Amino acid sequence: MRILAFFLGTALSLSAQTNPGMVTNAASTPLSRGQRSEQIHSECVLGRRLICGKILKILPDGLVVDSGYTNLTHPPLSASWLVPGSVSAGRPANQIEGREPESVCIGPVFLTNLPKARGPAPKPKLYDYVVLLGYPAGERTYDSVGDVKKNVRRFSADLVKAVDLNLAAADATAAAPTTPVK
């Protein structure tokens, strides 16, 4: 009799604690700004890429770089983030960008939030090379030649600023008015 009472009490207790008809979806609950910031931070760390390539264009807020010059990652060239254009560097044929963190980034990208130079360090010049770890920060459109506009991936050399850029873009997307579909 005690065993029956035990099982009956346990069954009633469990049925009161669960509601099998109700399904909750954690993704549907809005995240706080701090939680979104943490999520974006994790995505930036997982999406980081090694930007090693030739400077194609210098813009006020960053550099357009043709990345994929893997021989720049070997010493002594990797000692500085800025390598003079007089260095002989090339891209391997048929190279594919990996998905792992710190994979070599392939193709044109926009690089922002460059390291600050201390003292009389040289400034980046057209056709110099860069070797930096970059964190994904959305996309950037720039004027390529004449009226031609190109859209490229944007990377930040500063993780905190990459998170800020992504968070601002997410806030702008959330605040944008939606138009009804007809």
Each residue's pLDDT tens digit, 112-155: 999 986 666 678 999 999 999 999 999 999 988 888 999 999 99
Its pTM stands at 0.77
Ranges of the chain whose pLDDT falls below 70: 1-29, 117-121, 178-182
- What DSSP string describes 44-87? HHHT-EEEEEEEEEEETTEEEEEE--GGGGSTTGGGSSEE-TTS
- Separation CA 111–CA 133 (nearest Å): 10
- Separation CA 144–CA 84 (nearest Å): 23
